[in-house]
Amino acid sequence: MPCRHLSVYSQRAKLGLIVPPTNTVNEAEWMRMVPDGVTFHTHRMKLHADTASEAGRKALMDDLEEVFAMLKQARVDAVAYACTAGSMINPVDSLPDDLTARTGVKAVTTSASIIAALKKLGVTRLSVATPYADRLNEHETHFLEENGFAVEKLIGLGIGASGPQDYVRIAETPIEQVAAHARAAFVPGSEALLITCTDFPTLPLVEQLEAVLGVPVVTSNQATFWSILRTAGIDDRLAGLGQLLRNH
């Protein structure tokens, strides 16, 4: 159980959240999920396109350590680096483990949370919907396959094809378009539908899609929130947010 530094509004846990600079969805969805007595506290950090090279990984870690140091002053119980593409690094636990060791704060990342959630649900065959363009979609497919999952189908909306300046459009995708895109991505026989990107509005769709498709639906924000709650010692089962948070 983490050491507690409780306060009036954070009677059970304080969580730290790191999001990319254009992200406006993550906090909005976490606000709708957070149980009583738990608070979260946010910091923005620039995107890192290169996480594969030694120099790119070092730049990412330097920025994360700086932000962790600031959030640590709020006595948070755990910190989430909530960026799907920016945390798709294998081995999947290497980034959160390195951050925990370097900062002394329990760390979770979105991509490691997604893998943990899918394994907890006991699924391996996936349909995947993203807002991304081809380059990131290919990277995500390889990331999932390297972690033991079969990607039956993965489709994106093509946002970001002309560069990161377009990423702000992800949050502006109408929910009806997100729903249609998710349904188009699903292949019968898949064991789960995965919808990725922490800036992609998906929370109102999770239960609806599970009812229609008959399989668990995992999203970036839902999985990251589930992971940080459990890491912080909060074991609540939360209704209306999909099988992951209801049953695990």
Model pLDDT for residues 81-110, shown as the tens digit of each residue: 999 999 999 999 999 999 999 999 999 999
pTM over 0.85: yes
Mean pLDDT within 190-214: 98
- pLDDT class for 4, splitting at 50, 70, 90? low
> Containing domain of residue 35, as a range?
13-110+222-236
- Same-domain pairing of 161 and 148: yes
- Same-domain pairing of 87 and 150: no
In the chain, the percentage of residues whose pLDDT exceeds 70 is 98
CATH of the domain at 183: 3.40.50.1860
- pLDDT class for 180, splitting at 50, 70, 90? very high
What are the pLDDT digits (tens) for 134-168?
A: 999 999 999 999 999 999 999 999 999 998 899 99
3-state secondary structure the chain: CCCCCCCCCCCCEEEEEEECCCCCCHHHHHHHHCCCCEEEEEEECCCCCCCCCHHHHHHHHHHHHHHHHHHHCCCCCEEEECCCHHHCCCCCCHHHHHHHHHHCCEEEEHHHHHHHHHHHHCCCEEEEECCECHHHHHHHHHHHHHCCCEEEEEECCCECCCCHHHHHHHHHCCHHHHHHHHHHHCCCCCCEEEECCCCCCCHHHHHHHHHHHCCCEEEHHHHHHHHHHHHCCCCCCCCCCCHHHHHC
- Is 79 a domain residue? yes
- Same-domain pairing of 86 and 168: no
Q: Is the pLDDT of residue 232 over 50?
A: yes
Q: Is the pLDDT of residue 64 over 50?
A: yes
Q: How many domains does the chain have?
A: 2
